[in-house]
Structure 1
């Protein structure tokens, strides 16, 4: 068995110093990393524990935005009064995302870094996977691909992002803050995850040794929101399709909207065409139908997941109806 070392970071600079060494992985709650380690998917040489860094706070910033520290647990974020009152979409997504036991351990930063979901990635006995071994091939393409992507996939990977939280964060225009040697960078959560193209081994744009420190939510701008998750069973399960819908009205007309899908792509999928269809319109059945059709216009279903196209269309309509008070 390969040996592995463990160190606890004293502060962010210390964590970044330790994270420079090849083979180092940061660990918070460990709910995803440890599973992948036990399966042989992740093979770190060193674990750097960041769970006790001073990054768990949740509070309002001077400009009215809300900052959620990266080591805050999913439970703490979902149940925080400011999140429940001002960003209910995020709270609902977190509560739909996992069992209470997992939420109590999983961190917000770790949630963003979840690896994509695919049977062939997590079980090496099923066949080759370009995520595990770049250039090996993708067994899912001609295998059982019921849970896989219908949007944004490539010939190299058709896996889907499993995070419910990230779908809501994209709809809320959230920004992720990342510490790196010499400073910090911030980027929209929309741009944090990657499509697979020719580098499916990279799920996100974060570089080795960089550390997520916080997520910033801008002051609330959407008055009506709803998170809808469609899954195989009512208990804890990954989404077949999920929708984060957010709508801002001006005298009954949609001034702005966000429609973001989960379970359909390698990253949370923002349906820009659907949003464009909604703006300037009243939420009526014909508008909802056009918006949902625009969202899946470029879907490319596979042998076993064609049902996701119609499921996504109907889920979008239902989520928007509920958000707009029509349901």
Structure 2
């Protein structure tokens, strides 16, 4: 790990002041569960870090009639275990419970979780393999290499690294918004616009400026929250990243037809993925096995498998179908 300077701030205003004069490459430190890992691998080499984990104004959880509001410094475990979230938005809660080990969930923040970097082994193995995300222009070892865990959706000729997070998959399904602050002021953007596909510039993973940080996450209240789930399929039951996952929320009309449908896909794309066409395919239909299967097929219609990850197309289709059935059961309780 390279030497760096360390500053701990106690207020958001002090943090923004520190960012205003920060050296290029300075990083925000919250829970540290991703940043420290990457620093030890010499993938992140910031000259300075600004520690915000003591900012009480970021460590908030509010459940209102119109929206849920999570301070970016709220711990994953605290949000997952909030009684109202567990009851009224089980899909959000499950996406956090299934994200990591208990130790990590207790330390990691929800804001930091949204910005975690890929778990692509080529990216994390230093200079042993070419990686456009780590060293622009060097190539992508996953393309034509061992791509079992790489993206089926949103990839490019420069990168097929999968977005590793879980919480963002549930958030994108529920139209979450992030509030961002920096020395030039505050702005809001839909979570769906936070992350970007790799295109020709895989090193650019989100739209935040280097001196901006997420201050809160807002989720509009919706009846589909009660009829929601997060299904994560992985090689082992705990502490593993998704081969395929689906965040689903449903409501039905008085006649039993699907009235509202939300589907987010995880583990299969280069960014959190909203399956809008699959949602539309279910509206006005009964939630039959045939309908759920069809929705899964629509969700993966654009998949571009490589040499070793083609099995995850069928896995993803079944994951969507199973998640829809679970959400449907919860929606009618």
TM-score range, shorter chain: over 0.9
Q: Indicate which of 279, 289, 292 corresponds to 1:288.
A: 292
Confirm or deny: 8 A CA contact 2:232 2:245 kept in the other structure.
yes
Q: CA deviation at 1:235?
A: 2.1
Is residue 142 of structure 1 aligned with residue 139 of structure 2? Answer: no
Is residue 307 of structure 1 aligned with residue 311 of structure 2? Answer: yes
Indicate the residue corresponding to 1:109 in structure 2.
Answer: 111
Q: CA deviation at 1:296?
A: 0.7
Indicate the residue corresponding to 1:167 in structure 2.
Answer: 169
Distance 1:2 1:101 in 2: 25
Distance 2:197 2:248 in 1: 22
Indicate the residue corresponding to 1:57 in structure 2.
Answer: 60
CA deviation string 1:57-114 (max 9, x = no partner): 11134x5311111111101111112211222111111000011000000001110010
Indicate the residue corresponding to 1:226 in structure 2.
Answer: 229
Distance 1:269 1:237 in 2: 19
Indicate the residue corresponding to 1:14 in structure 2.
Answer: 14
Distance 2:246 2:2 in 1: 41
Q: CA deviation at 1:125?
A: 4.2
Distance 1:225 1:211 in 2: 29
Q: Indicate which of 168, 182, 185 corresponds to 1:183.
A: 185
Give the 4+ runs in structure 1 shifted more than 4 A: none
Q: CA deviation at 1:286?
A: 2.1
Distance 1:172 1:72 in 2: 19
Confirm or deny: 8 A CA contact 1:19 1:26 kept in the other structure.
no
Indicate the residue corresponding to 1:93 in structure 2.
Answer: 95
Distance 2:135 2:30 in 1: 26
Distance 1:91 1:126 in 2: 38
Q: Indicate which of 264, 267, 273 corresponds to 1:269.
A: 273
Confirm or deny: 8 A CA contact 1:75 1:103 kept in the other structure.
yes
Indicate the residue corresponding to 2:129 in structure 1.
Answer: 127
Q: Indicate which of 199, 202, 205 corresponds to 1:200.
A: 202
SS in 2 for 1:158: coil
Q: CA deviation at 1:15?
A: 1.2
Gaps of 5+ in 2: none
Is residue 35 of structure 1 aligned with residue 37 of structure 2? Answer: yes
Q: CA deviation at 1:285?
A: 2.1
Q: Indicate which of 209, 225, 249 corresponds to 2:211.
A: 209
Q: CA deviation at 1:2?
A: 3.8
Q: CA deviation at 1:309?
A: 0.4
Confirm or deny: 8 A CA contact 2:94 2:230 kept in the other structure.
yes
Q: Indicate which of 236, 243, 246 corresponds to 2:246.
A: 243
Gaps of 5+ in 1: none
Q: CA deviation at 1:16?
A: 1.9
Indicate the residue corresponding to 1:297 in structure 2.
Answer: 301
Alignment TM-score, normalising by the size of structure 1:
0.96
Confirm or deny: 8 A CA contact 2:19 2:183 kept in the other structure.
no
CA deviation string 1:11-64 (max 9, x = no partner): 212212222421210001100000000000000000100001121011134x53
Indicate the residue corresponding to 1:66 in structure 2.
Answer: 68
Distance 1:262 1:66 in 2: 22
Distance 2:127 2:181 in 1: 37
Distance 1:60 1:314 in 2: 33
SS in 2 for 1:144: coil
CA deviation string 1:256-282 (max 9, x = no partner): 111111001111111111001001111
Deviates more, 1:9-18 or 1:184-193: 9-18
Deviates more, 1:182-191 or 1:132-141: 182-191
